[in-house]
């Protein structure tokens, strides 16, 4: 199941405007269809150009205008994000069985990582850069919750993840909590990054278990970051390294045009 492709744009007026409206719409999931239609009818190439400060003469200028819209949306979503509002939780009876697998490759290529020798790396703007074994993370206080995972490919499913509160972990390693981003490098070459407010959200969990069992390889062993406030692609599996930074780190899908904030 992999229908994501890099966004390719031609300088076809209608296509460019549709893309711009879609990006504004995607980033603001609550936007009503009527409002989206209104925007679609009223946005002109001139308007897009004014909004972004880009002259739309060729493919590159169109790309940078659309990128600006996307980054502008990131800021708006950042302002709108309420650090205390909780995503819905569900009873165990509503867990989707079997829970779907998804990655940028098929199930036959799932990475097998050795838990015994695994050490989580912590880097960037943190005072304590020592590596963490799985046993050490399991010895910390654990939380769990049943939440809905929403994938932009058009499916959602309810699952139960447990592990360490990510805010607690960041404080423990002496992370600079005023930094803008937390980035993730995964052992399957996936990567992504999130805003600090979401990193510190009470439901954001460094997940070590799925449905009460150690996280199976397909769901991201040895750990994934589980954020019920963000879309599926923002939730990195197979985390190898975590870094805190003020330099925009992007992400695997984000660098191909998917909205960086990715709120759900």
Ligand X SMILES: Nc1nc2c(c(=O)[nH]1)N[C@H]1C(S)=C(S)[C@@H](COP(=O)(O)O)O[C@H]1N2
Contact between 123 and Mo ion (CB under 5 A)? no
**Binding segment for ligand X among 22-30, 43-51, 194-202, 227-235 (CB under 6 A)?**
227-235
Residue identified by tokens 């607690």 is: 168
The nearest distance, CB 232 to ligand X, in angstroms, is 3
* Choice between 190 and 221, CB closer to Mo ion: 190
Residue 181 structure tokens: 């981003």
Decide which of Mo ion, ligand X, none touches 238; Cβ closer than 5 to 8 Å per partner kind: ligand X
- 225 vs 235: CA distance, rounded Å: 5
Residue 182 near residue 244, CB atoms below 8 Å: yes
Residue 193 near residue 181, CB atoms below 8 Å: yes
Residue 243 near residue 123, CB atoms below 8 Å: yes
Contact between 258 and ligand X (CB under 6 A)? no
> How many CB atoms within 10 Å of residue 131?
11
Contact between 233 and ligand X (CB under 6 A)? yes
Contact between 151 and ligand X (CB under 6 A)? yes
Q: Which residues contact 253 (CB under 8 A, 6 or more apart)?
A: 4, 192, 233
- 69 vs 27: CA distance, rounded Å: 10
Contact between 194 and ligand X (CB under 6 A)? no
Q: Which of 191, 233, 258, 261 binds Mo ion (CB under 5 A)?
A: 233
Decide which of Mo ion, ligand X, none touches 188; Cβ closer than 5 to 8 Å per partner kind: ligand X
Q: Which of 101, 172, 176, 216 binds ligand X (CB under 6 A)?
A: 101
* Choice between 174 and 250, CB closer to ligand X: 250
Contact between 191 and Mo ion (CB under 5 A)? no
Contact between 262 and Mo ion (CB under 5 A)? no
Residue 140 near residue 184, CB atoms below 8 Å: no
Length of the chain: 264
Q: Which residue is nearest to ligand X (CB)?
A: 232
For residues 237-256, which are near ligand X according to CB under 6 A? 237-238
**Binding segment for ligand X among 31-39, 123-131, 133-141, 231-239 (CB under 6 A)?**
231-239
Residue 176 structure tokens: 């600079």
Residue identified by tokens 């278990």 is: 209
The nearest distance, CB 152 to Mo ion, in angstroms, is 6
H/E stretch holding 227: none
Contact between 118 and ligand X (CB under 6 A)? no
H/E stretch holding 47: helix 45-52
The residues binding Mo ion (CB under 5 A) are 151, 232-233
The residues binding ligand X (CB under 6 A) are 100-104, 151, 186, 188, 190, 218-219, 232-233, 235-238
């Amino acid at each position: 199941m992999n229908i994501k492709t890099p966004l390719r744009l031609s300088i076809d007026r209608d296509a460019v405007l549709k893309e711009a409206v879609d990006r504004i719409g995607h980033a603001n999931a609550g936007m009503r269809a009527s409002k989206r239609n209104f925007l679609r009818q009223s946005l002109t190439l001139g308007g897009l150009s004014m909004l972004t400060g880009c002259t739309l003469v060729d493919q590159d200028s169109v790309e940078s205008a659309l990128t600006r819209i996307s980054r502008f949306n990131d800021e708006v979503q950042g302002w709108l994000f309420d650090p205390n509002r909780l995503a819905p939780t569900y009873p165990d009876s509503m867990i989707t069985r079997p829970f779907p697998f998804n990655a940028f490759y098929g199930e036959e290529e799932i990475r097998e990582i050795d838990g015994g020798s695994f050490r989580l790396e912590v880097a960037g703007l943190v005072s304590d850069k020592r590596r963490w074994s799985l046993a050490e993370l399991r010895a910390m206080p654990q939380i769990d919750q049943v939440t809905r995972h929403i994938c932009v490919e058009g499916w959602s499913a309810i699952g139960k993840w447990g592990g360490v509160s990510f805010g607690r972990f960041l404080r423990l390693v002496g992370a600079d909590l005023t930094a803008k981003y937390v980035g993730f490098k995964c052992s399957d070459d996936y990567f992504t990054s999130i805003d600090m407010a979401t990193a510190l959200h009470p439901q954001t969990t460094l997940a070590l278990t799925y449905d009460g069992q150690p996280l199976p390889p397909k769901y991201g062993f040895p750990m994934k970051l589980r954020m019920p406030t963000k879309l599926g692609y923002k939730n990195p599996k197979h985390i190898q390294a975590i870094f805190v930074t003020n330099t925009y780190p992007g992400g695997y899908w984000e660098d191909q045009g998917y909205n960086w904030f990715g709120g759900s």
